[in-house]
Amino acid sequence: MQSKIISFFKPPLPSSALTERSNSSTQFCGDENDELAIWEKSQHTIVNTYTRRASEFHGIDRKKEASDEKSEKPTSENRLSMEECGSNGRNLNKKRSYAQFHLEFGQSNFLLHDCSTCGVKYSPGDEADEKNHTIFHKNFTLGIQFKGWRHERVVHTPNGERGRVILVLDSDPAAQRNKVQEVVKMMETELGEGWIFHKLCRVYLFISSQRIAGCVVAEPIKEAFEVLLCPVGAMAKKARPNSDKLRFGDIVLRREVIKRAPSEACNGAVVCKREAVRAVCGIRAIWVSPYNRRKGIATQMLEAVRESFCRGHMIGKAELAFSEPSSDGKALASNYIGTGTFLVYKTGNLCR
């Protein structure tokens, strides 16, 4: 039989029953949660293990991370550079450097200038180059700076003049020999390189106003040759009559005759006698700074050589010879000796 319709409509539960059911349900859920947590801790334990990498990769990784961070986060410098640049990427606030350019139109002294006094080439406008030229030019014209040595070998003092002549030998201290090398390099600018000085030479320096105004390099020799006044074949030719006229029928042409100076024939090669004579001292090279020339310094240095070259003996002018002198050297030698027939020698003829 079917139940009555009233059975489908049950009366509502009282409030006390509802509270009891809710308490029982929460208690049941709490028990389930505790059991679930215990089960997860015992069964599903996650273990993370890490292995240390090699040391050589740490630096690379750190640098890479640092670079990545820098690329991601723009620094203040990058921000400034981005602000300074315009829309087209050009830096608007960057300082520009200007350079001086030269135009070459075939000029002979392009970029380099030859000093007519000291012979040094330098670049005008270059501060360092101009400074070096100024120092060298002053040392060349006035003389190399010289403050003096504690132990000097003074061999001659001119009478009534400020100055002295000192002698430097190869056995002297290194500081003195280095100063000699500096003077020799200065002499080579005018007299040529590679022949002025060797170990057997005696160097005489003329000191004036704390500068080396002159230098003489002397060496011992055995023999020398007497210079002839004029070369052979340089005698004046007799003038032939009508030698300056050329006749072509009725036309007469007169040739122009250029007269040479009498001394021009003797300014060429040095011609000597074949017979050798005895000589003691050879003047290998002599030099005076341009500003101090024509003041008798060369004569004072030659006097110092004669007085001190041989100990206890003064060399006579007839025993003094010069090594293949130039035109200025021949003029100095003839004026000092007092005659045009002075002695010359070969630089290889040494007294060892």
Give the chain's domains with CATH numbers. 143-229+261-344 (3.40.630.30)
Res 236: pLDDT: 43
Nearest to 305 by CA among 202, 153, 224, 211: 202
Question: Can you tell me the distance from the alpha carbon of 303 to that of 28, in angstroms, rounded to the nearest whole number?
Answer: 135
Written as tens digits, the pLDDT of the chain (352 aa) is: 555 555 555 565 555 555 555 555 555 555 556 676 666 666 555 666 666 666 554 555 555 555 555 555 555 555 545 555 555 555 556 666 666 566 666 655 566 777 888 878 887 777 888 888 899 899 999 999 999 999 999 999 987 667 899 999 999 999 999 999 999 999 998 898 889 999 999 999 999 999 999 999 999 999 999 998 764 444 444 445 455 677 777 777 776 655 554 444 455 577 888 899 999 999 999 999 999 999 999 999 999 999 999 988 899 999 999 998 888 888 999 999 998 889 999 886 555 5
Give the model confidence (pLDDT) of 50-74 as tens digits: 666 665 545 555 555 555 555 555 5
Instruction: Report residue 91: phi and psi, to 5°.
Output: -85, 115
- Helices and strands (DSSP H and E) totals, the chain: 7, 14
Task: Report if pTM > 0.85.
Answer: no
Question: Can you tell me the distance from the alpha carbon of 331 to that of 320, in angstroms, rounded to the nearest whole number?
Answer: 15
**Segments in 1-54 forming alpha helices (H):** 15-43
Instruction: Considering only CA atoms, give the Rg of the chain.
Output: 52
Nearest to 319 by CA among 218, 228, 231, 229: 218
Amino acid letter, 330: K
Amino acid letter, 159: N
| Contact status, residue 167 vs residue 155, Cβ threshold 8 Å | yes
Give the model confidence (pLDDT) of 187-212 as tens digits: 998 898 889 999 999 999 999 999 99
Res 311: pLDDT: 86
| Contact status, residue 249 vs residue 179, Cβ threshold 8 Å | no
Q: Which residue is it, tokens 């030998």? A: 169
| Contact status, residue 264 vs residue 256, Cβ threshold 8 Å | no
What is the CA angle 190-194-199, rounded to 5? Answer: 115
Q: 248 - beta bridge partners?
A: 251
DSSP, residue by residue, 103-116: --SS-TTSS-EE-T
Coil vs helix vs strand at 323 = coil
Sign of torsion over alpha carbons 78, 79, 80, 85: positive
Res 187: pLDDT: 93
* Distances from the Cα of 41 to the Cα of 31, 34, 38, 65, angstroms: 16, 11, 5, 37
Res 51: pLDDT: 67
Q: What tokens does 142 get?
A: 């006035």
Sign of torsion over alpha carbons 64, 68, 73, 79: positive
